[in-house]
Amino acid sequence: MLIIPVKDGENIDRALKRFKRKFDKTGTMRQLRDRQHFTKPSVERRAQIQKAQYIQHLRDAEDI
């Protein structure tokens, strides 16, 4: 749970901005989105290999 102490006389927009920054650093939303759709490890690995092959193909094409 995130706790953002609001100082006396502090603008609420500034406190909200601090909250959003701290929330982004925790990675909660990213983790939630990853957990919504489970992908098998073999599928993830295959996607990584295909991406690596694509990048390598582009680099090889650059050299030619």
Q: Are 4 and 18 in contact (CB under 8 A)?
A: yes
What is the chain's pLDDT, residue by residue, as a tens digit (64 residues)?
Answer: 788 889 899 999 999 999 999 999 998 888 998 889 889 999 999 999 999 999 999 999 988 7
How far, in whole angstroms, is CA 6 from its chain's centroid?
A: 27
Output the pLDDT for position 62.
Answer: 87
Q: Are 23 and 2 in contact (CB under 8 A)?
A: yes
DSSP 8: T
Q: Are 22 and 5 in contact (CB under 8 A)?
A: no
Q: Which helix (H) or strand (E) holds 27?
A: none
